[in-house]
Amino acid sequence: MTNFILALASLSLSLYIAFLPTVMASHILARADDTCGDPATAQPFQEWYQSSAFQGTIALVWPTQEPEIVPLYYLHDLTTEDFIFLTPDSNGNLPTFPGATLGNPVFFVYPT
């Protein structure tokens, strides 16, 4: 009798696991083309101190351009060895910072 109960429990669990993704996904709507960045492709942007001390995740960013998001550039200050991350201004001008050299966009973010 114990084997029968275990087999029945195993079958019930297998059916539950097999149908769970379908049931959970049934309420998700397709993303419209004109919406903001797709949250499914966002990645955590983490802050580190001196390459060894993890400070935390500070934002979600996108690896490629998507609607309503802008490039996040890095600027490198050679005097202090600091990296500064800025977006273009509201007119689309590239970011600047005294003493820092502009690098390439590293990710894409919301402008606010």
Q: Are 31 and 67 contacting, i.e. CB atoms less than 8 angstroms apart?
A: no
Amino acid letter at 10?
Answer: S
pTM score: 0.61
What percentage of residues in the chain have a pLDDT greater than 70? 69
pLDDT band for position 23 (50/70/90)?
very low
Reduced to 3 DSSP states, what percent helix, strand and coil does the chain have, rounded to the nearest 5?
Answer: 25, 35, 40
What is the predicted pLDDT for the residue at 31?
53
Q: How far apart are CA 51 and CA 47, in angstroms?
A: 9
Q: How far apart are CA 2 and CA 112, in angstroms?
A: 61
